[in-house]
Structure 1
Amino acid sequence: MYIDYIKETYSDKENEDINLYVQRDKGHLGKIILENIRNDIDDIVDRWWELESVGYFSSNEKFLELLKEAENLYCFGNYTSCIAVIGIATEEFSRYLADNNKIDSRNLNQEGRLKILKETGGISENTYSLFDSIRKLRNSCMHYNKQFKGLNMNVLKVEAMRALNYYKNGIKNTIQVENPDLDIIVEQLISNNKLSFNEFKLRQRNINKQKNNIDVQISPNKKNLIFQSNYYIAEIDIETENFKEMTLIDLDGGGILVLDLTLPDVSVVLDLKLEVHNVIFATLISKVSTIGLTEEWKLLSIDDVFYGKYSLV
């Protein structure tokens, strides 16, 4: 069964009013899409978690763009489309390898291309086996033969996930995973205009752990962190309208943090006549975010003040 009726032409309305009706319908359609995603969010996340990780490739080749597309299709439950795209991606990657190995594969089908890549050492025996399995599944999918048509959603899901992981492993086994400095990867993430700040924080956290063995995560058992320490006041910014904050350096534990100040906090700063270079003994609190990192630091209390100009040297 297929039922459309998502759009209305509004051909019976006055021309100057049509756009108003369309924009209102688009707004409602956006709500429907968000609702559908919310209703499926747990399954979407679980499907993403099932995919293997292969690290970092700086190349902008089409076979990597197709991988991203296939991953999105899989995570949103579009298994048939995922299998088709992975089949296309595998062929594109095979052509890329053939060109790099000076193999003229223009007149070869994917079966022949994979065989000659294996024979010439372009791919390993294991990668050949993985890619040949993808080829056979893709052919069944594209021709939509009786066997493929009979697969239920659970089997389709397994086949799509297997094809994705086969492809990712084939790439990892064939071209060297790059190991650049953390700054280079972060710069690439920042330059991606489609990447949300929350996704950036998650990827940066994992890169720090996997590349530098720096684990900044806080235990899932903790919802808040409370610290008491001596803090050097590096900056006080309470004149702006949009935000008010104080930059502190932890003299006991090390590290720099920015303290977000509420209006009552600002009153405390003014009443205590705090200045840059002073030292405060204070209690701070921060909520632990959904990725196990501290969020905004808030002031609980200032218990003592050293009013001299403390030297950090």
Structure 2
Amino acid sequence: MTSPLITASAAGTWKLGDRTVNRIGFGTMRLTQHGEALTPGAVPRDRDQAVKVLRRAVELGVNHIDTAAFYFSPLRSANELINRALGPYPDDLVIVTKVGPGRDPSGEWTAHATPGQLRGQVEENLRQLGRDHLDVVNLRVVGAASVAERFGALAELRDAGLVRHLGLSNIQPHHLAEAQAIAPVVCVQNMYGVGASPEQAELLRLCGEQGIAYVPFYAIAGQGRTAGATAGESDEVRAVARAHGVSTAQVRLAWTLHRGPHVLAIPGTGDLGHLAENVAAGSLRLSPEELTALDSVRRTAT
């Protein structure tokens, strides 16, 4: 007997501003190349395969895609792949991009954008995606310095109609308060997963209290970061995976989604099988005992 197809709707929904999305989404950072993402000289991923993965994600109910103009390899651009695979875009599809960092055509990182340069980054995303507005733009932050001037510049672009909603990425709690005083924040993207520190969990709590979507990155990879999941895995995660007959990556995603109804997931992959597994993780229900065991995993396990 064939098992029923599990779609992204199994994870439930949340609203990003005025747009409703399924809580399992798709991240495109690793879609452009093999090996460690965002590294100059890495081997580009097959274009047709990347297009198939994007189209299959939407077929599986994914309607929240995370991207950036600086996600590219020597031959592949995540935004270009999205445009080719999904344009004309489904009405319910929400594309979230980010600005702040920059890369030159060779792939080398350049200085983060000034407030005056952010409009150019927004316009580049619009051009690559083939859109007249961006659903959500996240300001990617480095360090503890004020975000007021740069977030204010994005708020002006929102007022001009180029951007519908604003978010933040890689922030500290004071950044959220600072930005909220300027314009509504609909989502926060920060590193988070099994073994997260109390400091990382603090932002998740603050977002929940304010009705802001919390969107973890590296929820599967942990300390592997852009290189992907490491070979090592905690006994607790492996035990839960065996009990449910699923992968450890699915357990990590499920645990993340259990942290609150406002938590969204954006796992990325260039493999159709892994894509189906990631989406299916949204239907995995963990017991209180399993959650307690996973909560006990220390950060060194991620």
TM-score (norm. length: structure 2):
0.21
**Which one has a larger percent helix, Structure 1 or Structure 2?**
1
Q: Which structure has the higher relative contact order (CA within 8 Å, separation 6+)?
A: 2
TM-score (norm. length: structure 1):
0.21
